[in-house]
């Protein structure tokens, strides 16, 4: 900066001397002054350029330091993303993974009644009762290893005046998750002996009605209409039965998780459960297609008999494949059954086309 001041001072002095100069005899002096002025201007430009370069260098250093500080802060933030759980939070998470529910989870009572008892420290000291179709919410969970009834007690509440503790095994036996799919699974599981037997019985009725006219003991002739949907339906049911039994064999927690948190969207499920849901939808669609084919190829009574027989046969296929897969025989039986079904269909369809 001192050099800049000297250069400016010399430039001003030159202008003053030039202004004071008069006459022709002073041409040389003016030329000298102009030369000095040019040198002063050059010196000024040089000093200004040096000043700009130094200023730019300082700015670059400042920007580099700020960038380094920003990167250090980002690295510190990334290092601090680790989540530390309290012992209570860790226990709650482990309970959720193992039991598939936790606090604030809703159940709906299916038993005639459930008795809720108070424990030490509760504000309500009276025994409460909840009844069928009452919605209850999990308020707290306590592990009591030395308890003679159950090691896990669950505090549930129906409202602010109806709450208390119940052993977990009694809760799960008398209540289901508050979801329509869970309720349907609970109902089907509890009455599976009845509805499975009813479907097989329908198949027997259809078989007898159809064989009474044909006078042959041949089950479900595939040459009665030109459609592959019946054999495709039986194939999908065999695959689904094998897959369901595999889930029960190897990853039963998948089915338990689905029971507590069901969905019909396969994109939100693990691969095996997603395949089960996809097969479920495919079976519904294929059965609708079968009904449409029967409608266009049979009269009402023969068509209903055909559907009864197909439904009963599908139930038999499901039971045989699922039970045999539980003892690992189904993994061999399933492909053999599917191959046999398609072989019979192709053979009978050839006969149907020729006729």
- 216 lies in the same domain as 345: yes
Which residue, of 29, 49, 79, is where some domain finishes?
79
- 290 lies in the same domain as 317: yes
Q: Given this model, what pLDDT does residue 52 score? A: 58
Q: Given this model, what pLDDT does residue 60 score? A: 58
Q: Given this model, what pLDDT does residue 108 score? A: 97
Higher pLDDT, 15 or 342: 342
- 347 lies in the same domain as 218: yes
pLDDT grade for 23, boundaries at 50, 70 and 90: very low
Which residue, of 178, 203, 221, is where some domain finishes?
178
Q: What is the mean pLDDT of residues 36-58?
A: 56
- 258 lies in the same domain as 349: yes
Which residue, of 148, 178, 208, is where some domain finishes?
178
Range of the domain at 271: 181-354
pLDDT at 123 over 70: yes
pLDDT at 120 over 70: yes
CATH number of the domain enclosing 118: 2.30.30
Q: Given this model, what pLDDT does residue 282 score? A: 97
- 161 lies in the same domain as 264: no
Q: Mention every residue, 6+ apart, whose C-beta is less than 8 A from residue 298.
A: 224, 225, 306
- 262 lies in the same domain as 210: yes
How many domains is the chain built from? Answer: 3
pLDDT at 132 over 90: yes
Instruction: Give the integer Cα–Cα distance in Å for 239 and 222.
Output: 20
**In the block, residue with structure tokens 């209903």:** 304
Q: Given this model, what pLDDT does residue 211 score? A: 74
What pLDDT, in 10s, does the model give residues 75-118?
Answer: 555 545 566 677 777 877 888 899 999 999 999 999 999 999 99
pLDDT at 175 over 90: yes
φ/ψ (deg, to 5) at 71? -65, -40
Could you give the percent of the chain with pLDDT greater than 90? 55
- Predicted TM-score (pTM) of the model is 0.72
- 197 lies in the same domain as 346: yes
């Amino acid at each position: 900066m001192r050099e800049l001041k000297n250069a400016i001072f010399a430039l001003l002095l030159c202008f003053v001397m030039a202004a004071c100069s008069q006459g022709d005899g002073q041409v040389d002096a003016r030329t000298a002054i102009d030369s000095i002025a040019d040198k002063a201007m050059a010196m000024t430009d040089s000093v200004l350029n040096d000043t700009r370069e130094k200023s730019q260098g300082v700015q670059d250093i400042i920007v580099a330091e700020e960038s380094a500080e920003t990167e250090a802060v980002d690295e510190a933030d990334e290092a601090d993303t680790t989540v530390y759980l309290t012992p209570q939070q860790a226990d709650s998470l482990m309970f959720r993974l193992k039991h598939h529910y936790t606090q604030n989870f809703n159940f709906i009572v299916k038993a005639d009644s459930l008795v809720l008892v108070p424990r030490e420290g509760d504000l309500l000291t009276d025994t409460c009762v909840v009844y069928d179709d009452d919605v209850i919410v999990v308020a707290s969970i306590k592990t009591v290893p030395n308890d003679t009834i159950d090691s896990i007690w669950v505090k549930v509440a129906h409202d602010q005046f109806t709450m208390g503790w119940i052993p977990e095994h009694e809760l799960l036996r008398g209540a289901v998750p508050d979801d329509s799919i869970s309720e349907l699974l609970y109902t089907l599981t509890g009455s599976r002996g009845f509805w499975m037997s009813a479907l097989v019985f329908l198949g027997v009725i259809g078989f007898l009605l159809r064989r009474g006219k044909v006078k042959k003991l041949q089950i479900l002739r595939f040459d009665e209409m030109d459609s592959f949907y019946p054999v495709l339906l039986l194939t999908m049911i065999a695959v689904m039965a094998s897959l369901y039994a595999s889930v029960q064999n190897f990853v039963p927690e998948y089915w338990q998780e689905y029971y507590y948190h069901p969905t019909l969207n396969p994109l939100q499920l693990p691969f095996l459960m997603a395949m089960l849901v996809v097969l479920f939808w495919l079976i519904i669609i294929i059965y609708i297609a079968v009904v449409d084919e029967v409608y266009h190829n049979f009269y009402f009574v023969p068509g209903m008999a055909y559907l009864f027989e197909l439904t009963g046969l599908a139930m038999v296929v499901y039971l045989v494949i699922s039970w045999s897969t539980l003892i690992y025989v189904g993994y061999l039986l399933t492909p053999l059954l599917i191959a046999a079904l398609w072989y019979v269909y192709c053979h009978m369809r050839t006969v149907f086309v020729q006729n």
